[in-house]
Amino acid sequence: MIKLGSTTIKPQGYKKVMKGDYLIWENSIIEWITDSKISPNARIILLPDTVQKKLGNKQIVSIKFGSYGEITEGIKVDLPFVNFDYSLSHYLNTGGYIEAGTKLTIKYKA
């Protein structure tokens, strides 16, 4: 939706605003907790069904791997997977596994 006047009427799921001559797209967030550890050599992660439904074919801005770090480039969505240009160890500077129970946060353009 585009904000064109009244600030009191906003449709459900309102995510975009118009400001001046520029259109600003606000980022939305999806989070989940991993149920198994992820190899540092992985270049692909499988998205849970609920995340796939919310994400659809939207453009991913970044993926944060808990306290391990955040990836902002080289991300490609090919549902049900997210592919990376390089291994996770390249982006996150880690040689060990990303432990089960790590919160993953995807920021995407709404």
Q: What phi and psi, each to the nearest 5 degrees, are found at residue 3?
A: -80, 115
| pTM (two decimals) | 0.73
Task: Specify the CATH number for 27-109; select among 2.40.30, 2.60.120, 3.30.519, 2.40.128.
Answer: 2.40.30
**Consecutive 10-residue averages of pLDDT for the chain (110 residues):** 52 53 70 94 93 87 94 92 94 91 92
- CA 43 – CA 97 distance, rounded (Å): 13
Residue 45 pLDDT: 94
- Residue in this structure with the two tokens 């074919």, named with its chain if needed: 57
What are all long-range contacts of 68-77, with beta carbons under 8 Å and residues at least 24 apart?
A: 68/92, 68/94, 68/98, 68/102, 69/93, 69/94
Strand partners, 38: 98
Domain residue extents for the chain: 27-109
